[in-house]
């Protein structure tokens, strides 16, 4: 565990989380959330939890993003807040 890398990734994660809930377009929010999941996966690999990092990279950044995009295309992209 390298604390400089840890702090850098944590700050990026917080920026991505704030961007996810402030962006008005739902598709961009989903893509930023995918970047958030990938940064989270890097953080876990850096902490030594490689199995959790694998699962997050496939399931969190992959499958759940596809779920969100499919649901947004079937409903609406517009968001008021």
Partner 1 sequence: MEDIAAHIMAKYNYWIYVVLMMIGFYAMIGKRNLVKKLLGMNIFQTSIILFFISTGAKKGGSIPILDKYAALQGAVDVNQVVNPLPHVLMLTAIVVGVSVTGVALAVMQRIYRKYGTLEEDEILLKIENE
Angle, helix 64-74 to helix 26-46, in steps of 10 degrees: 180
Sign of CA dihedral 61, 67, 69, 75: negative
What residues line the site for partner 1 (CB under 8 A)?
1, 6-7, 10-11, 13-14, 17-18, 20-21, 26, 29-30, 33, 36-37, 40, 43-44, 47-52, 55-56, 59-60, 63-64, 67-68, 70-72, 74-76, 79-81
Query: Closest approach of Cβ 13 to partner 1, in Å?
Result: 7
Query: Closest approach of Cβ 53 to partner 1, in Å?
Result: 9
Instruction: Tell me how far CA of residue 44 lies from CA of 20, 26, 30, 39, in angstroms.
Output: 20, 27, 21, 9
Query: Closest approach of Cβ 2 to partner 1, in Å?
Result: 10
């Amino acid at each position: 565990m390298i604390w400089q890398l840890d702090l850098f990734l944590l700050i990026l994660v917080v920026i991505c989380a704030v961007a996810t809930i402030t962006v008005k377009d739902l598709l961009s929010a989903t893509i930023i959330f995918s970047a958030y999941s990938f940064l989270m996966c890097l953080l876990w690999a850096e902490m030594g939890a490689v199995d959790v990092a694998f699962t997050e990279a496939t399931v969190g950044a992959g499958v759940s993003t596809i779920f969100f995009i499919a649901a947004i295309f079937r409903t609406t992209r517009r968001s008021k807040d």
